[in-house]
Chains A and B, each alone.
Chain A
Amino acid sequence: MTPGSPEILTEARRLRDHFAANGAQVVKADVLQPADTLLDLYGEDIRARAYLTADPLRGEMVLRPDFTVPVVQMHMESRADPARYTYSGKVFRKQENDEARANEYVQVGYEVFDGQNPAGADAEVFAVIADALSGLPVRAASGDIGILTAAVRGLQTTDARKAALLRHIWRPGRFKALLKRYGGAEMPASRAALLAADDPFAEAGPDIGRRSREEVAARIAALRADAAAAPIAGEEIGLIDAILSLRETCPNVLSALRDIAVDMPAVRDAVGRMSARLDALAARGIDVEALEFEGSYGRTSLEYYDGFVFGFYASDRPDLPPVATGGRYDALTARLGQGRAVPAVGGVIRPDLVIGLSC
């Protein structure tokens, strides 16, 4: 099915009308967006995922890979709170590894900006999307990156280590390596030699480039401070691992997290928020007893989610991309709002995949 086919547009219209009927204002965004915001947020990785091009006057531009960033920017100017938006249009994603996946498809989205009742907003977005997919053979999965970040913030260690771990929440490999290092794993020989040297700059070679000797010296001081800090206790690392390996239905996970909170009180608030969210979901008629939760869900996507995350998958087609995905992205609005954060949660549905399931 081509991305602009009449069936897909009809389904997209149905979904957008469904979101509008739930109180969302219909908004539009340009196909060609300035690339600087995305490059700032995601770095080089965005080049592997989105189509970047150069405009001689406007600089680097990108074919929109999603609507989230332009919708957040639009909202930051309107300042309404609460506010709900819906949109429908094509997005463009490079597929460097899987040619079977579409590089151009329609997304229909629902975004809620509500600082008053985050648990209610999380549940609302999930329920409105679940409602749009009702009757289809889909299963839902969920997670909560906020629990992991709360656990990292609560570690008994230095702020520098916590900042380094938080920076790599979305890069599981590097996160794990850092945690191991901070847990007392042996440092590389090169670093041990550097820290043992009387004059670290004895064989430094010429000072070239923009990174100054002061910056190098500052990092050596930071490395010395880190070497002097006590390792993160094995029990604490065990708790992080326990959170990451959670994979059960929501009520069971909630119970396990309450056990973890006994040893790690820092996660108590985040667990309380999850509990409130489950109540709000149940109040909207969602069967939370059957809803799956994965501790590391949403960590490898490029979506910048930092709280509740969810996806809907075709039950018997694990090869297909998710039919719908969404989550909370408070950190993104804080970055784009230059300090003025507006809590936000949203999700998107792919009408082409919905049609594939209905027939």
Chain B
Amino acid sequence: MLKLGVPSKGRLMDKTFQWFGQRGVTLRKSGSDREYAGAVDGIDGVELVLLSAGEIPRELALGNIHLGVTGSDLVREKLANWDRRVAELALMGFGGADLIIAVPQAWVDVDTLDDLDAAAAAFRGQHGFRLRIATKYHRLVREFMRDHGVADYQLIDSQGATEGTVKNETAEAIADITSTGETLRANGLKILDDGLIHASQATLFRGRRAGWTDAQRQKLKALQLVLGI
């Protein structure tokens, strides 16, 4: 049996069901609407597992599921060396959102990472603490900042309403997911010109490590044939 993990609710689940449906594989919730059990029609030997999108990367890496649909941002954030643990089978073309760095529009002197780095150095000298960036994407932001040589900042954990942290003075800048940028503008923020950390979209992944039998590998081939990927 090949286990396919799919987000258990909301738009991401609906869109995933639609994507598979258009390719001849019907995914559906079985039983009542509140129950997290699923069924697969159109191919044998594939089991649907409904999970929180945030848990799918971990379950894939552990080998508890063989295939999984989730945001490419979540896989990169939650798995160190993600590309050694999972592989992308298909970019699904929905759930698009950009992880970006945004600063107050009032910072007319800051449009690039180079500016942010210089502003952070001056800010630390002035205020005695490192410039705070609110985010929930700690790994992705830290790696991005390191790769671009930005120093004198600190990450503040923010699990929601991150755009409001600057106005509330719990952070000076943010790193967050945005699709249109409207919420950012409404909160007096702007995106840095070179502040795109990752362009995320819903992606079908396979686990690369534990838990694969030959039968499961053959089943994956058959599924890929049906899906045309």
Q: Which residues of A contact B (CB under 8 A)?
A: 39, 43-45, 47-48, 96-97, 99, 164, 167-168, 171, 173-175, 177, 181, 188, 190-191, 194, 200-201, 203-211, 213, 215-216, 218-220, 222-223
With A191-B111, A194-B108 known to touch, is A219 a contact of B119 (CB < 8 Å)? yes
Residue of B with least CB distance to A221: B109
Q: Name, among B106, B121, B127, B153, the residue most crowded by chain A CB atoms within 10 Å (CB to CB).
A: B106
Question: Residues of A contacting B119 with CB < 8 Å?
Answer: 211, 215, 219
**CB neighbours of A168 from chain B (8 A):** 149, 151
When distances are taken between beta carbons in the complex, the residues of chain A under 8 Å from B147 are 173
A208 CA to B172 CA, complexed, in Å: 9
Chain B residues in 8 Å Cβ range of A211: 104, 107, 119, 123, 131, 172
How far, in angstroms, from A149 to B166 measured CA to CA in the complex? 37
- Collect the chain A residues with CB atoms within 8 Å of residue B80's CB: 96-97
CB distance from A314 to the nearest CB of B (A): 24
Contacts of A204 in B (CB 8 A): 105-106, 108
The distance from the CB of A263 to the nearest CB of chain B, in whole angstroms, is 28
CA distance A167 to B81 in the complex (A): 30
With a cutoff of 8 Å between Cβ atoms, the chain B residues found around residue A39 in the complex are 154
A96-B80, A210-B172 in contact; A43/B115 too (CB < 8 A)?
no
Can you name 8 A-B residue pairings with CB atoms under 8 Å? A43-B130, A43-B154, A47-B138, A190-B111, A191-B112, A206-B105, A206-B106, A216-B108
Q: Is the CB of A209 within 8 A of B104?
A: yes
Per-residue interface assignment for chain B, residues 150 to 166, with 1 indicating a CB less than 8 Å from any chain A CB and 0 otherwise: 11111100000000001
A45-B146, A211-B123, A219-B122 are contacts. A190–B155 as well, Cβ < 8 Å? Answer: no
| Number of residue pairs spanning A and B whose beta carbons lie under 8 angstroms apart | 117
Per a CB cutoff under 8 Å, which of A44, A173, A215 touches B154? A44
Let me know if B169 is at the binding interface, CB within 8 A: yes
B residues within 8 A CB of A47?
A: 138, 142, 155
Tell me which residues from 110 to 126 in chain B have a Cβ below 8 Å from any Cβ of chain A: 111-112, 114-115, 117-119, 121-123, 126
Contacting pair B106 A213 (CB below 8 A):
yes
Q: Are B188 and A206 in contact (CB under 8 A)?
A: yes
Question: Is the pair B146, A208 in contact by a Cβ cutoff of 8 Å?
Answer: no
Shortest A261–chain B CB gap in Å is: 29
Q: Which residues of A contact B143 (CB under 8 A)?
A: 48
Does B193 touch A at the CB level, under 8 Å? yes
Contact B106 A205 (CB under 8 A): yes
Q: B9 — which chain A residues lie within 8 A by C-beta?
A: none
Docked pose: A173 CA to B147 CA in angstroms? 8
Which B residues lie within 8 Å of A164 (CB)?
Answer: 118, 121
Please indicate the chain A residues that have their CB under 8 angstroms from the CB of B105 in the complex: 203-206
Shortest Cβ distance from A209 into chain B, in angstroms?
4
Is B167's CB within 8 Å of the partner chain A? yes
Q: Please give the distance in Å from A35's CB to the nearest CB on chain B.
A: 12
B136 CB, min distance to chain A CBs, angstroms: 15
| Contact (Cβ within 8 A) B106 A43 | no
* Nearest-neighbor residue (CB-CB) of A47 within chain B: B142
